[in-house]
Amino acid sequence: MATATQLSAPHDSGRSGLWSWITTTDHKRIGILYGVSAFVFFLIGGLEALFIRLQLARPDNTLVSAETFNQLFTMHGTTMVFLAIMPLSAAFFNYIVPLQIGARDVAFPRLNAFSYWVFLLGGLFLNASFLVGAAPNGGWFGYVNLTSRQYSPGLNIDFWVLGLLVLGIASLAAGFNFIVTIINLRAPGMRMMRLPVFTWMTLITQIIVVTAFPVITVGLVFLMFDRFFGTTFYSLAAGGDLLLWQHLFWLFGHPEVYILILPAMGIVSEVLPTFSRKPLFGYAVVVYSGALIGFMGWGVWAHHMFAVGLGPIADSVFGATTMLIAIPTGVKIFNWLATMWGGQVRFTTAMLFAMGFIAMFVIGGLSGVMHSNPPADLQQTDTYFVVAHLHYVLFGGAIQGLFAGIYYWFPKMTGRLLNEKLGKVHFWVTFLGMNLAFFPMHFIGLLGMPRRIYTYRPELGVETMNLVSTIGAHIIAVALLVFIYNVWRSWRRGEVAGNDPWEGATLEWTIPSPPPDYNFTVIPEVVSRLPRWSVTQMKAIPDVPPEPIHVPGGSYWPVVAALGIIGMATGAVAHALWIVLLSGAVLIFSIYRWAFEPFEG
């Protein structure tokens, strides 16, 4: 099975069935797997949000207990960050990046499959904590000493620590893979400054991933050692410093914010030009400001820690760097606006989501800059104002950007267009629900309602706004149902897309939808930044490959290796050393089989 290498028919290798999906190393299939899995996790995280909102719909509510509420907001945050937005972006990295650079797959197809399976099993592992009634309850930031063994003796934080360590492995493996893919697998003529902006933002995101995740890994390993082996990293009695965790976490945590938003910025930078029929305004500036954001993202972490009292100098420096990072972000906003200016704008659903992204992201960005001022931040920190800010950035920003990507590339992935009427309903209902849900939170926060508290007193005077926010959250849920119906219907009966339903400029639109296993019958020669819009046309890509193309035949060792990793985490949670050792042996064995199987023929 693993060794099969076969000649491909023009469009389909004929591989089908469950086993072919489990063993697939095709970046397109892995992209779909990422997308579907991440969307399911997104729904789970959304369900958690609905419970949070129902609990807060009225004062002194008793729908859920304080303990359940802690689990809900912890898992909502952790799920949305690590299991929804990151892997939804990964779905596009996988599916679109190789197509945009004119490659037949990623640099390491089996490592890619490994990343996906580790992500999926890690996500299931985290959520399995609900089954044993011990979901993580220390917040997505896991501050010590709340999360130390002394104050969290149960399994809850064990699941969280181990789950995040496992998910880190998936992100790191994918990071190396895509860095190499984008730098090394570009078609002839695809110079770095001809890369589509989405691919550029992917590269920057992955560079942040491979540099930021080791830092959180170290912080998590310290916490794990403290909890399992009695080390003293976060022990005040031994002279340790609780701020060590906060520094390590936010050193990762702030770059993580850009890991979440840069892919969406990349998507929007593809969608806006296509539907304005104009090249992106200031391509180079958008690329450089993306790189600058990635770089400066490393110098702002302590703005999450103004309330701990770092002193006036640290506060001033981090306040200033935080204001500075708004500049390259603002530059992008103006570039997007200038792209639309004077263009022939087509208000497709993808375009609406991209425009919604700009509008909502600006609001989130502005409240973000408000936090850069330490005295103001002291009033806002740990209140709903911050919740409002981060949801405008992550829902109004990242999620809307990802929806723009779904409407834009769904026809490429399935060969069929999503229904535009339903799409527009989806957009407008989402837009309404989002603003009802998140805008009142600004005022709720400024009036003094703290985050992460399971209830509030009627005297606070925030009942009406909380109710509005809860209604808004449910409107978002309704919009999602419309979207799910649209996907279900369009996947089977949608309008047939053809190669290029949007008259896009980039390479993915030169090939059939969905693309054949090998993507390109011949590797294209790229002569300009916008190959399909240029006067100098690239050579047409033939429909039938002029010579047979070998497509690697899949491998099950990545899945087995991923099972080994998750087995180690499970053994650790169960405090069963033999499971850890056995799973470790499985991991090493499968890596060896993987390394020495004749994969590429």
Partner 1 sequence: MTPAAAHYTSTGLDNKKLAFWAFIGSECLLFGSLISTYLVYKGRSVSGPTPHEILNIPVTSVSTFDLLMSSLAMVLALAAVSRGDKVWARFWLGTTAFLGLVFLGFQYYEFTSFVREGLTIKTNLFGSTFFTLTGTHGAHVAVGVLLLLTLLVRSFQGKLGPEKAINVEVTGLYWHFVDVVWIVIFTVVYLIQ
Comparison of 251 and 287: residue with beta carbon closer to partner 1:
251
Closest contact distance (angstroms) between CB of 239 and partner 1 is: 4
Rounded to whole angstroms, how far apart are CA atoms 288 and 270? Answer: 16
Cβ atoms 106, 19 nearer than 8 A: no
Single out the residue of 218, 345, 527, 549 in contact with partner 1 (rule: CB under 8 A): 218
Q: The tokens of 13 are what?
A: 């290798």
Range 135-155 burial, b when 16+ CB lie within 10 A, else e: bbbbbbbbebbbbbeeebeeb
Q: Binding mask 243-272 vs partner 1 (x if CB under 8 A, - otherwise)?
A: -x---x--x---------------------
Residues 53-112 that bind partner 1 (CB under 8 A): 107-108
Cβ atoms 225, 197 nearer than 8 A: no
By CB under 8 A, residue 240 contacts partner 1 = yes
By CB under 8 A, residue 232 contacts partner 1 = yes
Q: The tokens of 50 are what?
A: 């609905």
Cβ atoms 98, 198 nearer than 8 A: no
Q: Binding mask 467-506 vs partner 1 (x if CB under 8 A, - otherwise)?
A: ----------------------------------------
By CB under 8 A, residue 213 contacts partner 1 = yes
Closest contact distance (angstroms) between CB of 238 and partner 1 is: 6
Single out the residue of 68, 211, 373, 534 in contact with partner 1 (rule: CB under 8 A): 211
Cβ atoms 3, 598 nearer than 8 A: yes
Single out the residue of 134, 135, 167, 172 in contact with partner 1 (rule: CB under 8 A): 172
By CB under 8 A, residue 241 contacts partner 1 = yes
By CB under 8 A, residue 212 contacts partner 1 = yes
CA atoms within 13 A on the CB side of 471: 10
User: Residues binding partner 1: what is the number (CB under 8 A)?
Assistant: 42
For every residue of 123-139, DSSP letters joined together read: HHHHHHHHHTT----ST
Q: Is 68 helix (H, G, I), strand (E, B) or coil?
A: helix
Q: Binding mask 377-396 vs partner 1 (x if CB under 8 A, - otherwise)?
A: --------------------
Among the candidate windows 20-28, 176-184, 278-286, 325-333, which touches partner 1 by CB under 8 A? 176-184
Comparison of 241 and 543: residue with beta carbon closer to partner 1:
241
Single out the residue of 229, 313, 344, 540 in contact with partner 1 (rule: CB under 8 A): 229
Rounded to whole angstroms, how far apart are CA atoms 555 and 483? Answer: 34
Among the candidate windows 22-30, 207-215, 390-398, 438-446, which touches partner 1 by CB under 8 A? 207-215
Single out the residue of 35, 219, 423, 440 in contact with partner 1 (rule: CB under 8 A): 219
Single out the residue of 116, 117, 222, 556 in contact with partner 1 (rule: CB under 8 A): 222
Rounded to whole angstroms, how far apart are CA atoms 292 and 256? Answer: 15
- Using CA atoms, how far residue 296 sits from 184, 192, 293, 333, in Å, is 26, 21, 5, 17
Cβ atoms 149, 226 nearer than 8 A: yes
Single out the residue of 130, 176, 288, 295 in contact with partner 1 (rule: CB under 8 A): 176
* Residue whose token pair is 């200038």: 338
Rounded to whole angstroms, how far apart are CA atoms 136 and 147? Answer: 10
By CB under 8 A, residue 595 contacts partner 1 = yes
Closest contact distance (angstroms) between CB of 127 and partner 1 is: 28
CA atoms within 13 A on the CB side of 80: 22
By CB under 8 A, residue 114 contacts partner 1 = no
How far separated are the first and last CA of the chain, in Å rounded?
A: 13
Rounded to whole angstroms, how far apart are CA atoms 159 and 538? Answer: 52
Closest contact distance (angstroms) between CB of 592 and partner 1 is: 8
By CB under 8 A, residue 7 contacts partner 1 = no
Cis peptide bond upstream of 279, omega within 30: no
Q: The tokens of 524 are what?
A: 């294209």
By CB under 8 A, residue 210 contacts partner 1 = yes
Among the candidate windows 235-243, 336-344, 396-404, 494-502, which touches partner 1 by CB under 8 A? 235-243
Spatial CB neighbours of 236, under 8 Å, sequence gap ≥ 6: 145, 242
Nearest to 333 by CA among 295, 380, 366: 366
By CB under 8 A, residue 221 contacts partner 1 = yes
By CB under 8 A, residue 183 contacts partner 1 = yes
By CB under 8 A, residue 217 contacts partner 1 = yes
Among the candidate windows 209-217, 430-438, 483-491, 530-538, which touches partner 1 by CB under 8 A? 209-217
CA atoms within 13 A on the CB side of 227: 27
Comparison of 194 and 332: residue with beta carbon closer to partner 1:
194
Q: The tokens of 588 are what?
A: 């090493």
By CB under 8 A, residue 231 contacts partner 1 = yes
Amino acid at 490: S
Comparison of 57 and 174: residue with beta carbon closer to partner 1:
174
Rounded to whole angstroms, how far apart are CA atoms 387 and 444? Answer: 10
By CB under 8 A, residue 190 contacts partner 1 = yes
Residues contributing to the site for partner 1 (CB under 8 A) = 107-108, 172, 175-177, 179-180, 183-186, 190, 210-215, 217-219, 221-222, 225, 229-233, 237-241, 244, 248, 251, 592, 595-596, 600
